[in-house]
Amino acid sequence: MLITIPSILSKDDVKQVRAHLDAADWEDGAKTAGAQSREVKRNQQLPPTSDTAQTLGKFILQKLTSDPLFLSAALPAKILPPMFNKYAQAETFGAHIDNAIRVNPLTQERLRTDLSMTLFLSEPEDYDGGELVIEDHYGRQTVKLPAGDMILYPATSLHEVTPVTQGARVSSFFWLQSMIRSDANRRILFDLDQSIQALSDSIGANDPETVRLTGIYHNLIRTWAET
Total number of domains in the chain: 2
Residues 119 and 194 in one domain: no
| 127-157 as b/e: b if 16+ CB within 10 A | bebbbbbbebeeeebebbbebbbbbbbbbeb
Given a cut of 80, whether residue 49 has pLDDT beyond it is yes
Q: Average pLDDT for residues 85-109, to the nearest whole number?
A: 94
Same domain for 173 and 195, yes or no, is no
Q: Side chain identity at 92, as an amino acid letter?
A: T
Q: Return d(Cα 170, Cα 18) in angstroms, integer.
A: 8
Kind of pairing, strands 169-178 and 44-45? Answer: unpaired
**What is the band of 1 on the pLDDT scale with cuts at 50, 70, 90?**
confident
Query: Against a cut of 0.95, is the pTM above it?
Result: no
- Domain match, 52 and 89 both: yes
Domain residues for 187? 183-224
- From residue 148, alpha-carbon distances to 22, 31, 64, 186, 188 in Å are 16, 26, 11, 24, 27
Whether 227 has a pLDDT exceeding 80, the answer reads: no
Q: Tell me which of 141, 161, 178 is where a domain ends.
A: 178
- Model confidence at 24, in pLDDT bands (50, 70, 90)? very high
| 150 lies in the same domain as 56 | yes
Confidence tier at 36 by pLDDT (50, 70, 90): low
At 80, is the pLDDT very low, low, confident or very high (cuts 50, 70, 90)? very high
**Same domain as 105, residue 58:** yes
pLDDT tier, 37 (very low <50, low <70, confident <90, very high otherwise):
low
What was the pLDDT predicted at 41?
Answer: 85
Bridge partners for 111 per DSSP:
102
Across the chain, mean pLDDT equals 94
Q: What is the CATH classification number for the domain harbouring 125?
A: 2.60.120.620
How far is residue 143 from each of residues 87, 115, 132, measured CA to CA in Å? Answer: 15, 16, 5
157 shares its domain with 211: no
Say yes or no: 147 and 35 in one domain: yes
pLDDT classification of 29: cutoffs 50, 70, 90: confident
Q: Which of helix, strand or coil describes residue 209?
A: helix
pLDDT tens-place string over residues 114-165: 999 999 999 999 999 999 999 987 789 999 999 999 999 999 999 999 999 9
pLDDT of residue 113: 97
Q: Are residues 188 and 173 part of one domain?
A: no
